[in-house]
Amino acid sequence: MATKYLFFTGGVVSSVGKGVTAAALGLTLKERGFKVAVQKLDPYINVDPGTMSPYQHGEVYVLDDGAETDLDLGHYERFIDIRLSRVSNFTAGQVYAEIIQKERHGDYLGGTIQVIPHITNEIKRRVGLVAKTTEADVVLVEVGGTVGDIESQPFLEALRQIRNEVGRENVFFIHVTWLPYIGATKELKTKPTQHSVAALRSIGISPNMIIARSDYPVTGDICDKIALFCDVEKEAVVPMLTCDVLYEVPLLIEKAGVPDYIIEKLGIKSTRKPEMKPWQKLVDNVRKPKPTVKIALVGKYVELQDAYMSVREAVKHAALSQGVEAEICWVHSADLEKDKGWDIVQGADGIIIPGGFGSRGIEGKIMAARYAREKKIPYLGLCLGMQLMCIEFARGVLELEDANSTEFDHGTESPVIDLMNDQRSITDLGGTMRLGLYPCVLQPDTKASAVYGLERVDERHRHRFEFNNAYKSQFEQAGMIFSGLSPDGRLVEIAELRDHPYMVASQFHPEFLSRPMKPHPLFVGLLKAAKVRGNQ
């Protein structure tokens, strides 16, 4: 069977859930027995989001192979339950960097390098790479941004060319748009959708399906209008109402007949019936009233919750497994330094300190870690959250008042967290951290080994600094247990407190491997302990 391609474009505005739609559709196709692959194309010039501010871009999602990618890849992995690789995300920056490097190398023999064909060819090559490396039956490709953006033009042109090269019968374009609601007249408007489709058609692409996102119910006549003006079959206009439970989207897509319509048009047959009952059960469970457990997330980018997307999802997955509703209370760590926000921390049944970089708000996070240790509040530290737990312990228990990470204080006398040796000579910021999957050996009879129930795990990393082993025995004597180590024993991967219900922290990012139906053990451990505390 020829590889089939589903291309997702966005119209009207961004953030309408194109990524979730692609992820959900990917799941329904996987459920039909197809091998699916997913790819996100980001038309911005940055080489990857690794160096971008989470305020602008949201979370950086890390893959097994260490690729620093767009947060949509998190949706793909969580919904479809697959492990993606570097080929599943690329940016205009990567494409240009490659072409310019070849040009400097003289590979073009004096030719003029142009957007068409050089840039578009490289885009096509990279899209083709996914099909080649994964041998997928269906490749879902999402183009970031909105149709009409100058920077997305070469990407759309490349997709148009692919359609001609692999044959129209093997390509299906899905345009995801937004229907604005006019309060004064109480009506949904289709005009922006019409305009975005007109923009698509002006570059030679006619969508095969329009998914119309809306905050208000979409009536049949609205769909008729979209079908008529946008030249799409009526059955291919799919209204998609905003829903409060993210994991319901696959069910809504299934109910709307989207996967069946698409596979019929692509001329492929499913090998099995989709089994969506577990998802229905999951959504029913989410909706069921449950006792609430409060989790304070003490972070730096709390204004933009997308910055902690995977952490938030991992908390929800674990909460669901424990039959509780997790209320995530966002705390700005810099506020704690100014004596604000403490009521939230004090009212929490559990505290999470997520990953982060740079010194702003660090002392506030250390204060929160101290509070968790002293008041025995369940605590989960993620990467930076482990480093700060160690700094707090050094200051508060070992009385090394100056203890710090050399990331925040170069001259500290007690560098309990220090730059990893192989990071010392690195000057470039992009893609140079310790990234991706590394093994971690769990020490027996620890909380970590108990929650995992395993001896060895592989987890995803993204850091430059590490626990300084010069302090190891001092920490151990005072009640810190290093319950996860790299196989050579040289790198602390998990630390936990002996005399505490659950103060566990990892140098890696467990949140990237949590799935709705396979919650991550470290988060489950936190939620279990928080539930016990909440019942007190």
Q: Kindly list the residues in this chain that would bind ligand GLN in the complex (CB under 6 A).
A: 355-357, 383-384, 407, 462-465
Give the closest residue to 507 by CA, choosing from 473, 469, 466: 466
Q: Which is nearer to ligand GLN, 78 or 463 (CB)?
A: 463
* CA–CA separation, 421 and 306 (whole Å): 32
Q: Are 265 and 174 in contact (CB under 8 A)?
A: no
HEC profile for 458-482?
EEEEEECEEECHHHHHHHHHCCEEE
Q: Which is nearer to ligand GLN, 58 or 355 (CB)?
A: 355
Residue type, position 485, single letter: L
H/E stretch holding 63: none
Smallest separation (angstroms) from ligand GLN to the CB of 398? 21
Smallest separation (angstroms) from ligand GLN to the CB of 276? 35
Alpha helices in 65-212 (DSSP H): 72-80, 92-105, 120-134, 153-166, 191-202
Smallest separation (angstroms) from ligand GLN to the CB of 50? 11
Smallest separation (angstroms) from ligand GLN to the CB of 383? 3
Query: In sequence order, what are the residues at sequence separation of 6 or more whose Cβ sits closer than 8 angstroms to the Cβ of residue 135?
Result: 35
Smallest separation (angstroms) from ligand GLN to the CB of 38? 24
Q: Is the peptide bond before 415 cis (omega within 30 degrees of 0)?
A: no
Smallest separation (angstroms) from ligand GLN to the CB of 504? 16
Smallest separation (angstroms) from ligand GLN to the CB of 419? 8
Residue type, position 446, single letter: T
* CA–CA separation, 153 and 71 (whole Å): 22
The string over 8-38, giving b where at least 16 C-beta atoms fall within 10 Å of a residue's C-beta and e elsewhere, is bbbbbeeebbbbbbbbbbbbbbbbbebebbb
Q: Which is nearer to ligand GLN, 462 or 528 (CB)?
A: 462
Smallest separation (angstroms) from ligand GLN to the CB of 370? 19
Q: Are 13 and 146 in contact (CB under 8 A)?
A: yes
Q: Are 517 and 439 in contact (CB under 8 A)?
A: no
Q: Which is nearer to ligand GLN, 254 or 511 (CB)?
A: 511
Q: What is the 8-class DSSP label of residue 497? A: E
Residue nearest to ligand GLN (CB): 355
Alpha helices in 236-288 (DSSP H): 249-255, 258-266, 277-287
Q: Which is nearer to ligand GLN, 329 or 433 (CB)?
A: 433
Q: Which is nearer to ligand GLN, 49 or 259 (CB)?
A: 49
Q: Are 403 and 395 in contact (CB under 8 A)?
A: yes
* CA–CA separation, 320 and 519 (whole Å): 9
* CA–CA separation, 238 and 225 (whole Å): 12
Smallest separation (angstroms) from ligand GLN to the CB of 431? 13
Query: In sequence order, what are the residues at sequence separation of 6 or more whose Cβ sits closer than 8 angstroms to the Cβ of residue 287?
Result: 245
Q: What is the pairing mode between strands 138-143 and 36-42?
A: parallel
* CA–CA separation, 19 and 75 (whole Å): 7
Length of the chain: 536
Q: Are 48 and 96 in contact (CB under 8 A)?
A: no
Smallest separation (angstroms) from ligand GLN to the CB of 40? 21
* CA–CA separation, 11 and 238 (whole Å): 14
What are the catalytic residues?
A: 383, 509, 511
Q: Which is nearer to ligand GLN, 38 or 62 (CB)?
A: 62
Q: Which is nearer to ligand GLN, 382 or 451 (CB)?
A: 382
Give the alpha-carbon dihedral of 71, 72, 73, 74, to 10 degrees. Answer: 70
Give the closest residue to 420 by CA, choosing from 459, 468, 462, 386: 468
Q: Which is nearer to ligand GLN, 322 or 333 (CB)?
A: 333
Q: Which is nearer to ligand GLN, 77 or 407 (CB)?
A: 407
